[in-house]
Amino acid sequence: MKKSDRILNFVLPIITVAAVVVLWAAAAQAVDSEYILPTVGETFTALLELFKSEEFYRAFSGTLLRSFIAFFISYVLAFFAALCSYKSEKAKRLLSPLIVIIRALPTIAIVLLLIVWTNSRVAPVIVTMLVIFPTLYNNFYAALCGIDKELNEMCKVFGVKNAERLKKVVFPQIAPELISAAGAGLTLNLKLMVAAEVLAQTARSMGYLLNTSKIYFEIPTMLALVLITVITGLIIEFLFGLWAKKAVKK
Amino acid sequence: MISLKNITKRYGDKTVFENFNLDVQENAITVVLGESGSGKTTLLNMIARLTPFDGEITGAEKVSMVFQRDRLVPHLTVKENILLANKTADVKALLDSANLAGTENLYPKDLSAGMARRVAILRAFASTAPLIMMDEPLVNLDLSLKYSIIGQIKRLRAESGKTVILVSHDVKETVMLADRIVVIGGGKIIYDKPSATERALTNVLLNNFHA
C-alpha cells in the first residue's frame, strides 16, 4: 500500500467522525434542549458518570458475556451446518429452507415470544443466535466453496493425512473468512443483544440501562450508552480485522 | 510392472477408453503422446484414483504426481510443500540438486514459473511412491527452461530408479524424454515403441489424426 493511501486510511475516518460530531454539536445548539438532543459535552459528562458507576460495569459485562455466548453457539452451529451443506447436496437442500425461515423471522416478535417461553436472560441470547446464524452460515459456506479442490486432489495423491490436510492446507484457506466473519458477526451480535435486552428487560444489561434512562428521560445517558455500544463494536471489528489481515499474510 | 487391464472410462455419453490395456515398464520414462482430448490426463487421473473407472489397475498402489498446474500450496513455503509429500525428505539436498538452494523459505508467489515447476517436480520425486506421473510438465515454459527441466527429470529419474509415466502433446519433448513412447488416440494405442525420431512420430500423428 502506498504511503499516501496509508495516510488517507488514517485521516479519512477521523474527518468523518469529526464531521458527525460537528453536525451533532450544531444540531444540539439549534435544538437547545437536553431532553431532545443533548450537547456533546452533556453526553460526555454522562459517559464519565457511567464509567464511575458499578452498575454500568455489571450491565456492560453482562451484555458482553451474553453476546459472546450467543455468538459462540451460533458460530459453531453455523460452521457445522455450512460444512454439512458443503459436503452433501442433500444436507444443503434440507438446510436451505430452514435458513430462509430463520432469516425471515421478525426479531421483535420472536423476542416477545421467547420471553414468554423462556426468561429475560435467555431470550436475547436465543434471538441474537437466530439472527446472526444465517449470515454466518452463508459466509462459512462461501468460504468452504472457495477451498481449492485441486489442492485437495494433490493431498489425496500424496497421501497427506486428513488432520494434516485440514491444518496445513484447508484451514489456512478459510481462516481469513472465518476471522472476519467473527468480527462482523460479533459487532452485529452486540447491537442485536442490546436491542433484545431493551425488549426483554434483562436485568444487569445495557438494554436495561437504556430502558431505565428512557423512563427517567436521561437522554445524555442514553446517548452515552449508544456511544459505548458503537465504540465496543468498532473495537471488536478492528481487532478481528487486524487478525484476519495477519492470517491472510501467512 | 504397472498394468492397466480392460479400462473403460466414460464421461456421460462420451467414451474416452473402452477395454484399454497398457503395461508400463518399471524404472523407465514412458511418455504417452496424444492430441488434446485424447484422454491423457484422464489416464493419469485413473491411475491416481482421482476419477472412477471400470477395469483394473495393478502395481500403482502408491503414486506421486506433477500436475499440469503446479498445485503448490500458496501459504506453505517451498520446504513445507516438499515435506507435504514426504516428512523425512532431505529438502536441502533436493533443492541443491535442482539449483534451487536458498529457496527453502520462499513462498510459491515468490518463485518464477520455472522455479515453481522445478519445486513441483522435486516434490513428486521426494515422495516415497515408486511411480511418478507427470501431466504435461513442460507446458507453458520457454525453450531453455524446457531443456533444463528435461535434464532435471531424466537425472532425478535415473538417480531415484523410479518409474515415470509422462503425458505430452509435444513430439520434440516426447523424443527427448522417452524410454518408451505410447501414442494414444480414440481410446486406443496407436503406436508403442521404445523410441522414435521426431519425423517418424510426426508421421504417426499425421497419418492417424489428420489424414
User: In this predicted complex, what is the ipTM?
Assistant: 0.90
Could you give the CA distance from residue B24 to residue B1 in angstroms, rounded to a whole number? Answer: 6
Distance from CA of B205 to the nearest CA of A (A): 31
pLDDT, greater one: A182 or B114: B114
**Mutation target among A157, A165, A174 for the B interface, most CBs of B within 10 A:** A157
Cross-chain CB nearest to A154 (options B49, B71, B75): B71
Does some domain include residue A2?
no
Does some domain include residue A169?
yes
- Domain containing A196 equals 42-249
**CB-CB neighbors (< 8 A) of B62 in chain A:** 159
Structure confidence at residue A221 (pLDDT): 93
Residue A249 has pLDDT above 60, yes or no: no
Distance from CA of B116 to the nearest CA of A (A): 15
Does some domain include residue A102?
yes
| Secondary structure E strands in B29-126 | 29-33, 54-58, 63-66
This model's pTM is above 0.90: no
Does some domain include residue A18?
no
**CB-CB neighbors (< 8 A) of B85 in chain A:** 158
Could you give the CA distance from residue A174 to residue A145 in angstroms, rounded to a whole number? Answer: 9
Of the candidate ranges A23-27, A98-102, B122-126, B194-198, the one whose mean pLDDT is the lowest: B194-198
> Could you tell me the pLDDT band of residue B211, with boundaries at 50, 70 and 90?
low
Does some domain include residue A3?
no
**Mutation target among B42, B51, B75 for the A interface, most CBs of A within 10 A:** B75
What is the percent of chain A where pLDDT is above 90?
58
Looking up residue A232, the CATH number of its domain turns out to be 1.10.3720.10
Query: What would the mean pLDDT of A21-41 be, rounded to a whole number?
Result: 88
pLDDT in tens, A188-244: 889 999 999 998 889 999 999 999 999 998 999 999 999 999 999 889 888 888 887
Q: Which three cell numbers stand for residue A6?
A: 496509508
Q: How many domains does chain A have?
A: 1
Does some domain include residue A29?
no
Domain B1-62+131-142+165-211: CATH superfamily, name plus number: P-loop containing nucleotide triphosphate hydrolases (3.40.50.300)
> Could you tell me the pLDDT band of residue A176, with boundaries at 50, 70 and 90?
confident
Could you give the CA distance from residue A147 to residue A170 in angstroms, rounded to a whole number? Answer: 7
Distance from CA of B84 to the nearest CA of A (A): 7
pLDDT in tens, A45-86: 999 999 999 999 999 999 999 999 999 999 999 999 999 999
pLDDT in tens, B164-208: 999 999 999 999 999 999 999 888 899 998 888 888 888 888 887
Does some domain include residue A17?
no
**CB-CB neighbors (< 8 A) of A168 in chain B:** 73, 76, 80, 84
Does some domain include residue A37?
no
Report whether B183 contacts B34 (CB < 8 A): yes
